[in-house]
Chains A and B, each alone.
Chain A
C-alpha cells in the first residue's frame, strides 16, 4: 500500500510536467494542424540553458532564489524566442504547402536543435549543482518532498492562468477564432500570423518551465532528454483529445499516473519478466490503445477522420 501511494505521488508530479508540455503540442495542433516535433526539444533547451544560467549566477555570487529566478526568466525568454523564430523561419513559409512538407520540416528542426544543443552543451549528462535542499514529509506512508509540491502547485497555477487567458481575454478569443477558422478570423480583423506567433511563444515558454521542473526534479539534463518527453507529452495530448486544452491537462496527469504505477508494478505482475526498464513502453501502448479505441481522446470533440 505504501508503494502504491508513493507511486501515486510520483505519478501526479510526473503528470503535471507532461501536462505542461502537452499544452504546447495541443495548442499548435489546434491552430495549425501540425505536430511540432521540435516542441520536446524546447523542453531540453529550457533545462540546459537554465542550468547554464544557474551556474553562472551562482558563480557570480548571487543568492539561490535570485539565481533561480534569473535562470528561469532567461530560459523562458530564450525558449519563447526560439519558438517564435522556428515558427517564422520554418513553418510560416509552408502554410500553403502540401501536408507532408511541414511535418518533414518539423523533424528537421528537431534534429537541428538536438545536435545544436549537443554542440553547445556536450553530450554528457549535466548534473545540477547540489544547491537545493528539499525537505521530506511523511504522509500516509509516502515520502513527499517540498519540491514535488512546488512543481504540482506551479504547474496548476500556470495551467489555470492559461485557461483564463484562453477563456476570458481578447487574445484568447482571437486564438479560439483562429483555431476554428483562420480565414474567417482574418476577415474579422484578427492578425492570424501574430496569433500563431503568440501561440508558439506561450507554448515554448511553458516548455521551458517544464524543462526547469525536470531539471530540478531529476537533477540532470541531457541533449536528448526532449525526445522521449516530447513523445510522451504528445501521447498525453492525444489521450486527452488533441486540440483540447483541458484535455491536455487531464491526459498529462493520467499518463503520469499510468507510467508511474505501471513501472512500479510491472515487475510484480509479470513475475519479473519485464522490469521497470520498460517504463517508456507504457506511453506507447497508451497511444496505440487510444488511437484504436477512442481516437478523439477523452475530452475531444467530433471523431476526427480527416484526409
Chain B
C-alpha cells in the first residue's frame, strides 16, 4: 500500500459520520468556506467574531472531552490550562517583555507548558480516588487566577488585573492574520482569516481525538471509565493512562489558549474564571460526553446562547421597566440547571456517542453506589 492510500484509509477509518462520502465532505468544506461571508452578510461582522470564539471553545470542549468523556475524570479547572497557553503566547509575543517570538515556536511551547502543569497537578491526585481530582482542579483554577492577578509586583510579570495588551497577531510565513488581504478580488478580513485557521485547528483536534478514541489508549480509557478496578485487573496501567488523558487534555487547552491570545490581541485574568470552566464542562455534558462531534455541537450552541440571551435584558426593561435578571447570571443559572437536568434524565447528552445505548445497561444501574461502599473500601 502506498502512502496516499494509507492516508486515505486512515482518514476513512477515522471518519466522523458513518458512510460519509467524498462529495459530502466537499460540500462541508465549501459550506465552511462560505460561512463567514454568509454570517457577515446576514448578521454582521460581530457574528464572525462570535464564530471564531465558538471555534476556540470547540477546541477546548474537544480537549476536556478527552478527560471527562473518554477517561471519566472530572476536571473543574480546565480553564487554567487555557490560561497557561494564553499567557505563554501573550507574554512572549507582545511589548510586555519586548519579545516577539514566532507563533510556530510559541504554540508548542504553550502546549508543553500546559501539559507540564497537567502532570504536576495530576500526579499527586490521580493515584487516589477520582473525586480528589475534581476538587484539586477546582482549587487550581482559582489559584492560577490569583497568581495572574498578583504577579505584577515586585517584578511585573503578568501586568496584574490589567492583563497583557498589544499581543502580536499570528504570522505564518509572510502571511499576517492581523491585516486584511485581497485575494482573487475578495477581501479577507482578519476575522475571516482566523476563522479558516480555527476551522482547520478544530478539524485537526477532532481528528486527533477520534484517532485517540479508536486506539489502544482510547479503549483503555473507556475501560477505566467504566470500571477502574476491572481495568487494572486486565493489566491496564490505570495511573499512567489517567495521567496521559489529563496531560493531553491540558495540551489541547494550551493550544487553544495560544490561539485565543492571538485572536483577541489581549489577555487578562478576567477571561479565566471558574465560570469559564463550568461553561466548557457544560458544553461537553450537554453535547454528549465521549462524542467528539457532539461536544463541538455543544460548544457552538452554548457560545451562541449568551448572544441570544442578550435580548432578555431589554425585554425585561420593556415589560417591567426594570432588569430583574441579569442575562449573564441567567446564563450561569441555566448552565447549572442544565448540568443537573442532563445528569438526571439524559446523561448521554444532546447528541449521544454512538454505542452509548449499548453501554448504558452496564454503566447505569448495575452498581448501587451506596451499597457498594463496604467497610473494606472506606476511605
Residues of A within 8 A of B (CB): 29, 31-35, 37, 90, 93-105, 107-116, 118-119, 123, 178-183, 192, 227-228, 231, 234-235, 238, 241-243, 272-273, 275, 277-278, 280-281, 283-284, 287-288, 291-292, 295-296, 300-302, 304-307
Asked whether any CB of chain A lies closer than 8 Å to the CB of B371, the reply is: yes
Best-buried of B124, B128, B379 by chain A (most CB within 10 Å): B379
- Neighbour of B343 across the interface among A104, A118, A273, A280, CB < 8 A: A104
Identify 26 residue pairs between A and B in the complex whose beta-carbon atoms are under 8 Å apart, listed by A's number.
Answer: A97-B365, A98-B347, A100-B72, A102-B343, A103-B134, A104-B281, A104-B285, A105-B344, A107-B278, A108-B340, A111-B278, A111-B335, A111-B336, A115-B333, A119-B326, A178-B370, A182-B373, A183-B370, A278-B146, A283-B139, A284-B142, A296-B379, A302-B378, A304-B128, A306-B129, A306-B379
CA distance A100 to B347 in the complex (A): 10
Q: Are A108 and B338 in contact (CB under 8 A)?
A: yes
Q: Are B130 and A99 in contact (CB under 8 A)?
A: yes
Q: Are B370 and A182 in contact (CB under 8 A)?
A: yes
Asked whether any CB of chain A lies closer than 8 Å to the CB of B138, the reply is: yes
Q: A96-B364, A182-B371 are in contact. Are A300 and B68 (CB under 8 A)?
A: no
Starting from the known contacts A295-B128, A300-B379, 18 additional A-B residue pairs (CB-CB under 8 Å) come to A31-B370, A33-B369, A94-B344, A100-B289, A105-B344, A107-B339, A113-B336, A118-B329, A119-B325, A119-B326, A123-B329, A183-B370, A280-B143, A288-B124, A288-B136, A302-B379, A304-B377, A305-B127
Q: Are B281 and A115 in contact (CB under 8 A)?
A: no
Asked whether any CB of chain A lies closer than 8 Å to the CB of B140, the reply is: yes
Best-buried of B72, B129, B335 by chain A (most CB within 10 Å): B129
CA distance A1 to B368 in the complex (A): 55
Q: Are B150 and A107 in contact (CB under 8 A)?
A: no
CA distance A74 to B78 in the complex (A): 38
Q: Are A115 and B364 in contact (CB under 8 A)?
A: no
User: B194 to chain A: closest CB distance in Å?
Assistant: 31
Q: A228-B142, A280-B142, A281-B143 are in contact. Are A96 and B128 (CB under 8 A)?
A: no
Q: Are A242 and B371 in contact (CB under 8 A)?
A: no
Q: Are A291 and B364 in contact (CB under 8 A)?
A: no
Q: Smallest CB-CB separation from A223: which chain B residue?
A: B329
Best-buried of A118, A280, A306 by chain B (most CB within 10 Å): A306
CA distance A71 to B368 in the complex (A): 40
User: A89 to chain B: closest CB distance in Å?
Assistant: 8
Q: Which of B313-361 contact A (CB under 8 A)?
A: 324-326, 329-330, 332-333, 335-340, 343-344, 347
* Residues in chain B near residue A99, CB distance under 8 A: 72, 130-131, 369
Main secondary structure of the interface of B (DSSP, over half): helix
Main secondary structure of the interface of A (DSSP, over half): helix
Residues of B within 8 A of A (CB): 68, 72, 74, 76, 124-125, 127-132, 134-136, 138-140, 142-143, 146-147, 150, 154, 225, 227-229, 232, 274, 278, 281, 285, 289, 324-326, 329-330, 332-333, 335-340, 343-344, 347, 363-371, 373-375, 377-379
- Neighbour of A108 across the interface among B134, B138, B227, B336, CB < 8 A: B336
CA distance A295 to B131 in the complex (A): 13
